[in-house]
Each structure stands twice: as C-alpha cells, then as structure tokens.
C-alpha cells in the first residue's frame, strides 16, 4: 500500500465483499499504485476501493450481481458507485495543492448560521422545465449546480481560488470544486466550446498603451478628416504624424505589444522611417496582433479612451467599435471605446492636440 487514506476504504471494500462471499480467503494480498493526486477531491481512494471490488468479484466469477455490488459500493462512499459506471471525465486543471478533507469539513462546520442547501431542488426544477427553454443540459447544470465547500475552501486555499478564477475567466459556463477540493472543473456547452476554451496553463496578462499627437492648422481653417480607431472623423485641423496619425490605434498597438513584452510601436515602426509616411495604422495593428498570436496569446477584450477637447466624437463611437471588432476579429461585446476631456487643462485643454489610452487583456 502506498497511500494511507486509501487503505481504509479498500479494506472496508474487501470486508463488505467477504460478507457476500463467505468462502473468500482472508489471505489476500493487494498492491495499490497511486496515479490520481491525493487530497484533490477526485475520488482517488474511492476509485481504489472500486477497483478492488471489481477485481475480486471478477476473480470469483461475478458471484455478486451488479445491483448488489452497487449497493455495497454506496456503503463505502457516496462516489464509489460512480466508478462502477465505467465513465471518464476530463480534468481541466490538475490540482496545485492538496486540501485535507478533514480540514474542509471542519471549516464548513465552523461556518455560522449555515443553512441546508437548495441546489438539488433548484437543479431538478431546471431539468423539469427543460422543454420550456432553449438551453442545453450543460447550461442548465451550470445554473443549478453548487458546492458548499467552495465558500470555505476558496478562502482558505488561495491556489485553489486562482485555479477557479482561471477557469471562469477562460469562458467556462461554470467552474466547480470537486468534492472538498482541491481540483476544479469547468462546464462547457459542448466539446467544441471546451476545445475553444483551452484553459490549461493560461494566464491573464494586461497591456497598456498611450499615444498623443499635436494638432496642425488647415488652410483657412477648412474642414478636414482625421483617423480615429480606424474611422474617418470630421475635424478643422490636421494631425502631425508620420503615418495617418490614428492615436486610438497607436495606443492599442502599444497595449498589445506590452501584453506580451514585445516592446513598443516605435521599436517596430520607426517614426522617422519614410516608408511609413501616410501609412494606415491598421497595418501596425495587424502586426501587433500577429505577434500576440505567435506568442500563444488570445485577445480577450480592449478598452480605448480618446482624450480630446475639440472633437465631437460621440456619434462615431459605435462605428469605431464595429471597425475595431472587424480589424481584430473580436466580438464587439469585448470592444469598448470611451471619450473624455481634460476639463480645459493641459495641452489637450488648450486644444493643441489629442491623446488616447488603451488597455487590453490577453490570455497567454
């Protein structure tokens, strides 16, 4: 035997089987080689006991029928019958730390005013009314499942809480603690959704970018158009820049590069390089996005703030969001564009220029 907690469950299983098989010899040698992490809530000890029950029953020519064996398994532990079903599950996050079952129960018992849960009734209600909703079973489970241990284990074990948040932020329908912990699993809508939400070893990174450009007067104050977030916006001035002077995209490029520690826009596109004179900033953006992808990154969302005193940008915000969504191949619900002023302060308040700030989050 290589794991003490498993011994007791296994011996209990053998003793239970002996009651149904009086002729079974007491001289039985068992070897237990562990592969499932201990103190993970993955049922390692329970699966060991199940394996012993099945092996001995097979040795004695299935002397105990399936229903009797299931009842026997249920007396050992509530999850032992699960392993008799011969089903498999995918573990998304291997446990990074162990959670003592005894401590988890002690923490739960110490909670003041703890009330009986209603998750089972809630889940059954959702399933009964399945025909009245367009949600599939996974989505219904995500709404109905809960685990009381989460309220104490996620507080007492920060590593477990981080794994939980990682699955949530990666887009799972629901993250859930396995038993008393420490393993976490995520519910997906279907196999494709699970594959798209590859959560293993991913971490969230944040990049921030800032850019500013000086205004240049147009001839006789004539009307003009400047580029902002890939969209032409009417103006009575020009922008001093080597490229098309899109401060929104320039700030976004810096944010993307920063999220994967790949320098800044000037390192990739020198401001004094004449080949970029009048160039579309979308070229720079696609280059930065390519670098993020090459480093294994997945863009999660962007948030751009345009800072200007002189421009009336609000009517163009939705068009900018749509353009950015197109350029980045990113859901528009993950694209934010805001506008603000400096309350007449500084170079922006004096209407000498325009600036933009961008923040992005990337899974790498």
**Domain end point (choices 40, 56, 84):** 84
Q: Are residues 172 and 106 in the same domain?
A: yes
How far is residue 193's CA from residue 172's CA, in Å, rounded to a whole number?
8
For residue 35, what are the domain limits? Answer: 4-84
Count the Cβ atoms, other than its own, within 10 Å of residue 318: 12
Count the Cβ atoms, other than its own, within 10 Å of residue 222: 9
Q: Are residues 61 and 143 in the same domain?
A: no
Q: Are residues 244 and 148 in the same domain?
A: no
For residue 190, with 0-12 CB atoms within 10 Å meaning exposed, 13-18 middle and 19 or more buried, which class applies?
Answer: exposed
| CATH code for the domain of 76 | 3.30.230.10
Asked if residue 292 is part of any domain, the answer here is: yes
Asked if residue 14 is part of any domain, the answer here is: yes
Helices and strands (DSSP H and E) totals, the chain? 15, 9
Q: Are residues 324 and 352 in the same domain?
A: yes
How far is residue 246's CA from residue 295's CA, in Å, rounded to a whole number?
26
Percent of the residues in the chain that have a pLDDT greater than 90, as a whole number:
28
Question: Does the pLDDT value for residue 26 go beyond 80?
Answer: no
Write down the pTM of the prediction.
0.50
Q: Are 361 and 301 in contact (CB under 8 A)?
A: yes
Q: Are residues 41 and 74 in the same domain?
A: yes
Q: What are phi and psi of 120, to 5 degrees?
A: -65, -45
pLDDT attached to residue 2: 40
Asked if residue 307 is part of any domain, the answer here is: yes
Asked if residue 89 is part of any domain, the answer here is: no
- The sign one gets for the Cα dihedral 35, 38, 42, 44 is positive
| CATH code for the domain of 183 | 3.30.70.890
Which of 121, 119, 122, 177 is closest to 151 using CA atoms?
A: 177
State the total domains in the chain: 3
Q: Are residues 332 and 186 in the same domain?
A: no
**Domain end point (choices 153, 171, 196):** 196
Lookup: tokens for 38: 């201990």
pLDDT attached to residue 4: 42
Q: Are 215 and 361 in contact (CB under 8 A)?
A: no
How far is residue 244's CA from residue 231's CA, in Å, rounded to a whole number?
11
Q: Are residues 106 and 51 in the same domain?
A: no
**Which DSSP symbol is given to 148?**
T
Question: Does the pLDDT value for residue 226 go beyond 50?
Answer: yes
| CATH code for the domain of 268 | 3.30.1330.50
Looking at residues 164-177, what average pLDDT do you find? 82
């Amino acid at each position: 035997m290589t794991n003490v907690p498993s011994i007791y469950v296994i011996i209990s299983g053998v003793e239970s089987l002996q009651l149904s098989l009086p002729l079974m010899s007491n001289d039985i040698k068992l070897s237990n080689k562990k592969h499932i992490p201990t103190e993970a809530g993955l049922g390692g000890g329970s699966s060991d006991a199940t394996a012993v029950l099945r092996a001995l029953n097979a040795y004695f020519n299935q002397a105990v029928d399936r229903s009797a064996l299931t009842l026997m398994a249920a007396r050992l532990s509530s999850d032992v019958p699960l392993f008799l079903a011969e089903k498999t599950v995918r573990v998304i996050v291997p446990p990074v730390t162990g959670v003592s079952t005894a401590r988890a129960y002690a923490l739960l018992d110490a909670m003041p005013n703890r009330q009986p849960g209603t998750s089972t009734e809630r889940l059954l209600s959702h399933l009964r009314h399945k025909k009245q909703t367009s949600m599939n079973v996974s989505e219904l489970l995500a709404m109905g499942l809960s685990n009381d241990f989460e309220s104490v284990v996620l507080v007492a074990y920060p590593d477990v809480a981080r794994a939980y948040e990682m699955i949530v932020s990666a887009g799972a329908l629901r993250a859930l603690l396995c038993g008393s912990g420490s393993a976490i699993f995520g519910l997906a809508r279907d196999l494709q959704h699970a594959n798209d939400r590859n959560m293993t070893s991913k971490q969230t990174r944040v990049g921030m970018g800032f850019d500013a450009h000086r205004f240049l007067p147009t001839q006789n104050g004539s009307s003009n158009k400047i580029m902002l977030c890939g969209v032409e916006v009417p103006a009575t001035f020009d922008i001093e820049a080597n490229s098309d002077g899109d401060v929104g995209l320039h700030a976004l490029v810096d944010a993307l590069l920063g999220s994967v520690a790949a320098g800044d826009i000037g390192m990739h596109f020198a401001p004094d390089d004449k080949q970029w004179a009048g160039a579309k900033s979308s070229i720079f953006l696609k280059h930065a996005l390519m670098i993020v992808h090459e480093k294994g990154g997945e863009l999660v969302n962007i948030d751009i703030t345009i800072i200007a005193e002189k421009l009336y940008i609000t009517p163009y915000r939705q068009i900018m969001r749509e353009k950015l969504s197109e350029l980045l191949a990113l859901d528009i619900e993950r694209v934010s564009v805001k506008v603000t002023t400096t309350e007449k302060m500084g170079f922006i308040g004096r209407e000498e220029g325009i600036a933009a700030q961008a923040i992005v989050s990337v899974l790498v």
